[in-house]
């Protein structure tokens, strides 16, 4: 059974974020161990929110989010802005 939502929290930059201590970007998504780590973290969720600064910023960020969504087979939301203390949390 799929749960509704998983939130992943970590540092980010346009087109990338940290998952534990692993940088996840387009190049990393070609690594099967990174994909498996991501899939284990989302645990069957149908939607993922990346609570990371600026992951979806610019063309690089938007492309990364589309590719991540395709690879994981889930909806992915991320911010193009800074998030956290006194910052936007809008995704």
Q: Which among 33, 23, 38, 22 is positioned nearest to 71, based on CA atoms? A: 38
pLDDT in tens, 8-66: 999 999 999 999 999 999 999 999 999 999 999 998 899 999 999 999 999 999 999 99
Residue 84: pLDDT band by 50, 70, 90 thresholds? Answer: confident
Cα(34)–Cα(53) distance, rounded to whole angstroms?
A: 20
What pLDDT is recorded for position 1?
44
Contact 52, 80 (CB under 8 A): no
Q: Does residue 86 surpass a pLDDT of 80?
A: no
Dihedral sign of CA atoms 52, 57, 62, 63 in order: negative
Residues 6+ positions from 82 with CB-CB distance below 8 Å: 53, 54, 88
pTM: 0.88
């Amino acid at each position: 059974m799929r749960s509704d939502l998983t939130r992943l929290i970590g540092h980010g930059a346009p087109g990338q974020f940290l998952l534990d201590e692993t940088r996840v970007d387009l190049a990393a998504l070609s690594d099967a161990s990174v994909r498996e780590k991501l899939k284990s973290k989302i645990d069957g969720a149908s939607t993922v929110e990346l609570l990371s600064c600026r992951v979806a910023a610019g063309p690089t960020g938007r492309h990364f989010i589309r590719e991540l969504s395709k690879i994981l087979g889930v909806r992915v939301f991320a911010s193009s802005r800074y998030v956290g203390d006194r910052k936007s949390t809008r995704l």
